[in-house]
Amino acid sequence: MKKVHLLFASLFAFSSISAQDFYDINTVQEIKIYFDQTDWDAQLDQFFIDGDEERLMCSVTINGEPFDSVGIRYKGFSSVSVDRVKNPFNIKLDYLKEQSYDGIDKIKLSNVIQDPSFIREVFSYEIARNYMPASNANFAKVYINDAYWGLYTNVESVNKTFLSDNFSTVDNAFFKCNPEDLDLDGENSNLSDSPGTNPDNYHELYDMRSDEGWDDLYGLIDVLNNEPDDIETVLNVDQTLWMHAFNYVLINFDSYIGYAQNYYLYKDTDVFQPILWDLNMSFGSFSFTDASENFDGFSPRQAQTIDPLLHHNSVSIQPRPLMRNLFANDTYRKMYLAHMRTIVNDHFANESYKARATALQNLIDDAVATDQNTFYGYDNFKENLTNTVSDLIEYPGIFDLMDNRSTYLLNYEGISDAPVISEVQTSVQNPINGEDVWVTSKVENGQFATLFYRFGGNGLFSKIEMKDDGNSEDGAANDGVFGGKIENVSNNIQYYLFAENVTDGIFAPERAAREFYTIQSKIGAGDIVINEFMASNSESVADEADEFDDWIEIYNTTNNDIALSGIFISDKVDNPDKFPLPDVVLPANGYQIIWADEDGDQGEAHANFKLSSGGEFIMLSYADSTVIDSTSYAVATTDLSWARNPNGTGAFAEGSHTFDMNNDFSSTNEPFVNYDLKLFPNPTNEVLNITFAAEMPNQLSIIGVTGKLIFKTNKITNHFTQKIDQLNAGLYFLKLKYEDGIQIERFVIQKK
């Protein structure tokens, strides 16, 4: 068997270029706020006292660029006080009109309270981004009416732009996990099911940032508390373990650990993804509780040796199911401790964090020295890297804390005796879509190995057991070489390994799943095609923002999944890599819509070009100009599309659109209608029920994704039922023919 070594792929470039500029960690921003109101501070104080989110009008200049009609208010909870001069700000640039600074319309400035060192928040976010989606953050010198107000931290909002940069969707269930009223003796946003089975009972504990999602959130809570063995169906467990590992290594307890707050949950790829937030009290600055043995607080010395498994080995004063129920799983527990080992080795055991922390302080030294509103003074700023600073509480010296904590953790059972993974190899270097690929690896000091894989995109990884049995392309049985087979592969294979022994586990690469190994091969011409497009969309199909923009439909003509990463779409033959296709996996016979609207802020499926109604050229290719498919068209008629017929293979003809579906439906040239009906269950596995609310069709058909007619009848009742248990799993279309046109509905068959 031919084997090749592979390099791993990194996923660090999640944020947009503009965001990286404004949040460049090595640059101090300059933000000037101008108020016309002489009592601006009293008005902002009153807004905060009233507990509303009303904003005061102001103008702002960012690095010399002016903005008027800006809305501003205070932000935060304990960091705000009407008795303070230096309060944190939430600045909304698009308060009254559409405007942004390099694509950013909301700016969050923290006043660096609870941190004499000034670097805790910015440094912590930089560390976190190595392992999970986390905000960009840097520093900003803030002026009010041209008076220097002080140095602030400038942290990227967790909003739709952040979601677009880090996930495949932006409009799913989205929650900020902070209660309306923080109860210092309560459960807060801990994801327990104490409030009961009614999703409405959770409204005061979680702040929903999406249009809907309460049922989704309760679904997560229900499974986490009552069916934890099924937790992977509703939660990205690996990302959750990374969050816990980060919080425990850096003693960031103003988080889920302490008062169960300061994190987000976003549902992407059908599971919730946790997102860190508010890291200003990391490195032991928050020491009031850990909701376990240290419920009444802990000292800087105690922080060095806090047990990372207290919620497994000891008690939970308040329920912490997101830790306790995950840590009860032996493998999850080893994964969590493996992530801790990685963070410690990457930054602290080698003492590289000291040089980085010092560099950050040097960057802001002058800005802190001239900050007349700082809470601790310049001397405290200089000494808090190494020494504890005492105020109302004690702020540990970061170096003293982390040197001792890393020593403690590296000697902790579950961290100190890891297996060794080496010689990660595959059976082929350039697999053909649909074939099987073996992955093998040598594992020392390990009894078990698991292979995680996916075919691109931001989806979850599937997993299979690797075996050392002599029958898995692994050589001889029990020789320490494990093998696992990935079946029916795509053009992009992303994978990583996890090996474990009785106490410890380890990943390869160790930063998985933020990093992974990859094999990428090219697809052939015509494997995906430009299947349909509309170059003059007036009122036919709206995008997620309810805008009628030009669109292009891409279709996978094969019977295998195809990863779209590395493939480009362009309207210029001399600029083939004009716009990268979304990093998603297009299923066999599946469709992907690209909005040609020059509106990239709306998501990765919005291209940086528009289509001309006067005729144009469209091409799918690789960056090296290898063409996969192309077409050109003449004048486009408003609200008509150009579509291939037969679907995926035929010549283009102009007619009624079949947006995101099989073009063969358009061959009748009948107009599309949309009557109320209920189609259930969907997905289904035995029967399909259809209830018609008003108009009855005179013909009903079921059509496969390739356009094949499967069933047709004229005998239709108000409550129609059709057995579908003999059909294969997959996507199907329900075609309803009325007197004035046809209606197309999708449904999915899933086999148990």
Sequence spans of domains, the chain: 17-410, 418-520, 528-668, 677-749
Listed as ranges, residues in the chain with pLDDT below 50 are 1-18
On the question of a common fold for 418-520 and 677-749, the answer reads yes
Strands 515-520 and 8-10: antiparallel
Q: What is the pLDDT of residue 668?
A: 61
Report the alpha-carbon distance of residue 50 to residue 47 in Å, rounded. Answer: 5
Please answer whether residues 3 and 115 qualify as being in contact, where contact means their C-beta atoms are separated by less than 8 angstroms.
Answer: no
Q: What is the pLDDT of residue 20?
A: 57
Kindly report the pTM of this predicted structure: 0.87
Backbone angles phi, psi at 37, to 5 degrees: -80, 130
Angle of CA points 163, 489, 442, to nearest 5°: 95
Please answer whether residues 324 and 312 qualify as being in contact, where contact means their C-beta atoms are separated by less than 8 angstroms.
Answer: yes
For the domain made up of 528-668, the CATH class stated in words is mainly beta
The one-letter amino acid code at 505 reads: G
Could you give the 3-state DSSP secondary structure of residue 268? strand
Backbone angles phi, psi at 369, to 5 degrees: -60, -30
The one-letter amino acid code at 669 reads: N
304 Cβ contact list (under 8 Å, min separation 6): 401, 404, 405, 408
Give the pair of three-digit tokens for residue 621. Answer: 């290719």
Q: Which of 264, 269, 274 is nearest to 169 (CA)?
A: 269
Report the alpha-carbon distance of residue 102 to residue 28 in Å, rounded. Answer: 16
- 61-100 burial: b if 16+ Cβ within 10 Å, else e: bbeeeebeebbbbbbbeebbeeebebbbbbbbbebeeeee
What does R_g of the chain's alpha carbons equal in angstroms?
A: 28
CA 510 to chain centre: 20
Start-to-end Cα distance in the chain: 36
Backbone angles phi, psi at 294, to 5 degrees: -100, 40
Domain 677-749: CATH architecture, name and number where available: Sandwich (2.60)
Judged on CB neighbours under 10 Å (0-12, 13-18, 19+), 298 is: buried
The full DSSP string for 435-470 is --EEEEEEEES-SEEEEEEESSTTPPPEEEEEB-SS
Q: What is the pLDDT of residue 416?
A: 97
Dihedral sign, Cα of residue 710, residue 715, residue 719, residue 723: negative
CATH code of the domain occupying 418-520: 2.60.40.10
Report the alpha-carbon distance of residue 243 to residue 346 in Å, rounded. Answer: 16
Q: What is the pLDDT of residue 415?
A: 98
Please answer whether residues 308 and 248 qualify as being in contact, where contact means their C-beta atoms are separated by less than 8 angstroms.
Answer: yes
pLDDT in tens, 649-700: 999 988 888 999 888 876 666 778 888 899 999 888 889 999 998 889 999 9
Q: What is the pLDDT of residue 604?
A: 86
The one-letter amino acid code at 594 reads: I
Torsion, CA 681, CA 685, CA 689, CA 690, rounded to 10: 70
